[in-house]
Amino acid sequence: MEEMIIAILRSATPLIYVTLAGVIAQRAGIWHLGLEGLMIVGACSTILGIVLTGSVFYALLLACLFCILGSIIFWFVVEKLKANQIIAGLGLTGLGLGGTTLAVEAIFGTPAAVNAKFGLPKIGYVFGDIFGAFNGLSILVLLMPFVVFGMWLLICRTRLGLQITASGEHPFAARSVGVNPSRMRFIALMIGGVLCALGGAELAAGSLQIFAQNMTAGRGFMSFAAVIFGASHPIGAMLAASFFAIVGALGIRAQLVFGDDVPHDLLLGLPYIATIFGIWLSAKLRGGAKAVSGFDELRD
Amino acid sequence: MNMQFITIFRALLFILLALALCSVIFVIAGFSAVELFESIIDGAFLRNGAMKHALRWAAPLFITSIGVIISFRAGYFNIGAQGQFYIGAIFAAFTAEWLNGAPAFVVIPACFIAGATGGALWALWPGLLRLKSGADEVITTLMGNFLASLILIYVTGGPLKDPSGSGQQASSRPLDEAYRLGNSYELSPTIIMIALSLGLFMWVIANRTTFGVVSGLAGRNATMVEWQGTKLLRVGLASFLISGGLAGIAGTVELMGPNGRLAAGFLPAHGFTAILIALVANLSIAGAAIAALFFGGLASAALYIPVMSGLPASAIEIINAAIALFITAKSKFLDKLFSLGRAKWKK
């Protein structure tokens, strides 16, 4: 059981960080499909940072820097150039996936996986032996509940959070009380950039200490689904992301139990199926988009 | 005509902006942007037989992009072309395996029907989830892509596994020579004909039939269309099925043409590139034919540049992504510029 909880925490933590980034963007009125791209940029720059500078602190700084840079580009394109959020988000994701491959190729000559000698500090290393079996988890796992709580405070209990929410829900109303929705979206995306960097760092350097091409494997999109499933509330989104992680962990468990009786490639698909289920359920419960998505802005 | 000119001009301008962003990324990564662009242009459009290579990649991309256009016009973001492409290819491969030994004039049409069915089925469930319960199709089709590539890994490593394979990449048994529409060395006129006739057929459907007009209107104003007595469910589902079916046909073309077998994770950027083509063409089928040539050229350059100049192929991926980032952009500044121009022309 303990092992199971550790496995779930390991796979849920990166998802939760990135989901929080999606939540705050969603609140500000941006459908953030670039999460996948920012996440892999975070993962890649953390590992490259550790390999090149030998310091976890600088590596995290580098990850935050690149993710914020990506967020600024995304904000500029979506907000200033009024590009379609979904397509621009997919573009950002492609830029992240391609850019990280290119960066690895530029530095090491081949696009193969990169190993770092060490990863993020472990709980046991920082706080001593007080968490028992959980000592092997990285400090970002320990930090996660506080970040979730902090985001809840920020979004639901501060002026800035309410202004961000208002900019997403009713930009006109926000503007009429002197809030600049565009600036609120900028702030939301910057906070999201840092969160994506942390999520990517945890994914690559939390327990594995490795960066491989396309290693996010749709986790960013899954996080986006968790935002929808969790009604873009920080706590709800955390629960939704945990649900996807639990299903994934159960899939891995099932591989051990069933062995070769069930093809394991198909068990790997369980989190994706859970995501589809989650989207369906939230549409059922809260009433989804009944009207068409609207592409008219494309055809002027 | 002026409107069309403006649209094309705007698309080109934003593509240039995207390329500028790319060169910044290349320079940061430590490559010479000039050298990279030179070899990409060379690989895509200038080298010997570049046109042939571009056409080889453009034909399946064009077929998939027509499907994307149909669903985008109807107002649905079916971004699952990649998954529908894979499932179509898988269905076709199973059909070829099952009918192995039958004459080619039976097997080839059967494979195409199976491929189209497979692709359509993979678009059917997101369509139903969307239209029946309002589940957002962007996420469901995206998840469908990941599921389809897992299914492809399973199929190529399990039921259709080639026992003589070298083990490096799981792949299915190669198709019988008699069933192939072309090979990987030369351009197949059959495939070009298939792409062109599908393009013509879908152009007629989109622009000259009730379905085309109504689905196009539904994308702009669904409420109005519904009030006028159209069953939105039927139109929406049809556009999902058509777009999935076309992606499935593209998968079949790849299987029976240049590839000749299924391989795990083959052409991973196909669906995304097809979406780009649809957007660059501003959802016009005729425009997609031209845009497909451009992106087909880029796709062939992705194979060319690592071999010829030792530069990374991921550069092409970055160019495509940057174009996606900017292609739907509008800018007030540009609009002002255009409206000034238009006023002048009127005089």
The 10s digit of each residue's pLDDT in A110-122 is 778 888 788 788 7
Q: Who among A95, A284, A292 is closest to B321 (CB)?
A: A95
Entry pTM = 0.88
- Our count of domains for chain A comes to 1
A260 shares contact with chain B (CB less than 8 Å): no
pLDDT of residue B61: 94
Query: What gap in Å lies between CA B285 and CA B246, rounded to an integer?
Result: 13
- Minimal C-alpha gap between A63 and chain B (Å): 15
Q: Who among B133, B139, B222 is closest to A221 (CB)?
A: B139
Averaged pLDDT for residues A218-237: 89
pLDDT of residue A294: 42
- Give yes or no for residue A219 having a pLDDT over 70: yes
pLDDT of residue A238: 92
Q: Is residue A279 part of a domain?
A: no
Q: Which residue range forms the structural domain that includes residue A110? A: 2-6+14-216
Q: What is the mean pLDDT of each run of 10 residues along chain B (347 residues)?
A: 73 85 84 82 80 88 94 89 95 90 86 95 94 87 91 84 66 77 78 91 90 83 81 89 95 88 84 90 88 89 79 84 85 60 46
Q: Is residue A256 part of a domain?
A: no
Q: If you search the block for the tokens 């009127």, which residue do you land on?
A: B346
Q: Are B181 and B254 spatial neighbours (Cβ–Cβ below 8 Å)?
A: no
Share of chain A above pLDDT 90, in %: 33
Q: CA-nearest residue of chain A to B333?
A: A81
Query: What gap in Å lies between CA A184 and CA A178, rounded to an integer?
Result: 12
- Quick count: other Cβ atoms within 10 Å of Cβ A217? 17
Q: Higher model confidence: residue A225 or residue B337?
A: A225
pLDDT of residue A127: 74
pLDDT of residue A55: 86
pLDDT of residue B172: 76
pLDDT of residue B167: 56
B318·A288 Cβ contact <8 A:
no
Domains, chain B, in order of start with CATH, read 8-26+33-41+52-338 (1.10.3470)
- pLDDT tens-digit readout, A17-39: 999 999 999 988 888 899 999 99
Which chain B residues are closer than 8 Å to A31 by Cβ? 138
- Minimal C-alpha gap between B146 and chain A (Å): 7
Q: Who among A86, A88, A284 is closest to B138 (CB)?
A: A86
| Strand A210-211, strand A114-115: pairing | antiparallel
Query: What gap in Å lies between CA B88 and CA B95, rounded to an integer?
Result: 11
Q: Is residue A254 part of a domain?
A: no
Q: Is residue A227 part of a domain?
A: no
- Minimal C-alpha gap between B315 and chain A (Å): 7
Q: Is residue A280 part of a domain?
A: no
pLDDT of residue A93: 92
Cβ neighbours of residue B159 closer than 8 Å, sequence gap 6 or more:
B94
- Minimal C-alpha gap between A223 and chain B (Å): 10
- pLDDT tens-digit readout, B208-237: 888 888 888 887 777 888 888 888 888 899
- Give yes or no for residue A89 having a pLDDT over 70: yes
B143·A292 Cβ contact <8 A:
no
A286 shares contact with chain B (CB less than 8 Å): no
Which chain B residues are closer than 8 Å to A280 by Cβ? 129, 133, 135, 140
Which chain B residues are closer than 8 Å to A222 by Cβ? 143
pLDDT of residue B346: 42
pLDDT of residue B66: 94
ipTM: 0.86
- Give yes or no for residue A299 having a pLDDT over 50: no
Query: How confident is the prediction for chain A on average, in pLDDT?
Result: 85
pLDDT of residue A295: 44
